[in-house]
Amino acid sequence: MAGLRAKTLIFVLVAALATLDRTFVEADFSKNMIVTWGKDHIGMTGDNLKLVLDQSAGSAIRSKVAHLFGSVEMFIKLVPGDSAGTVVAYYLSSTGTAHDEIDFEFLGNATGEPYTIHTNLYVQGKGNREQQFRPWFNPTTGFHNYTIHWNPSEIVWFVDGTPIRVFRNYEKEGIAYPNKQGMKVFASLWNADDWATQGGRVKTNWTLAPFVAEGRRYRARACLWKGSVSINQCADPTVPSNWWTSPSFSKLTTLQLTKMQKIRDGFMIYDYCKDTNRFGGVMPPECSKQQF
């Protein structure tokens, strides 16, 4: 009997290691990412990433593999000083006109003015779900953790472990939810001075170039996308490696809700669900639903 238990334990450990290898991506940028543009404006060495923007080019990378559900995080230090017109983007996205996308974008500003933390969500090619925040810290003097947690129940945007936004799955009520397309991880630094800073009124000051943003500790603890077969496999709560399907991750804790509400009350500057003029009074259906 003891021998049987020992063999069972060994089997479980081997299975656990196999699933860990399948779902966990270590933070080596050069091994896990490829350059999509600006090859001469990117530095990737082990755990460290440097994105550069000047008047000749910006820079962008993406992960080699796609995921469906899990948690993706990166520590980022934004462009210091006068960053007006620049955008640092960190997001998940599939491909095609009906793509899904979960965004963090950091909109630069003039010296002394705060960044804007811009979040958005696209489902089947449709976006217009923006929420924006002012940072309650200086995002340029040190690295801060930005995490996207995505499972069959909800999407949560975290900053330094504090949730700032939730989008719940109401697909059964006719509201689209991103759960059928694997998404790769992207990071970029680019010029968007036609809209990024004060609606495009403040332009990029190229005399201050090059602009530099840095990343560290990229982690993807997520289900590897293997095509349509993953739609059910990655959402299966009976698979031990699918930790994101645990009931404990289906909603925020009371403490998390309290912390999030404090951030939203004090630092949110835009919520599409409150912009009645934009939608002519016909609000997106999820705006009437409880998100957290």
Asked whether the CA dihedral 140, 89, 175, 153 is positive or negative, the reply is negative
Q: Are 89 and 74 in contact (CB under 8 A)?
A: no
CA distance 228 to 210: 42
Phi–psi pair at 100, nearest 5 degrees:
-105, 150
Asked whether the CA dihedral 7, 10, 12, 15 is positive or negative, the reply is negative
Q: Which of 73, 105, 154, 286 is catalytic?
A: 105
User: Beta partners for 74?
Assistant: 146
How far does CA 180 lie from the centroid of its chain? 17
CA distance 25 to 167: 25
Q: Which of 73, 101, 154, 286 is catalytic?
A: 101
Q: Active site includes 113? A: no
Q: Active site includes 171? A: no
Q: In the chain, count of helices (H) and strands (E)?
A: 4, 16
CA distance 156 to 221: 15
Q: Are 227 and 134 in contact (CB under 8 A)?
A: no
Residues classed as catalytic: 101, 105
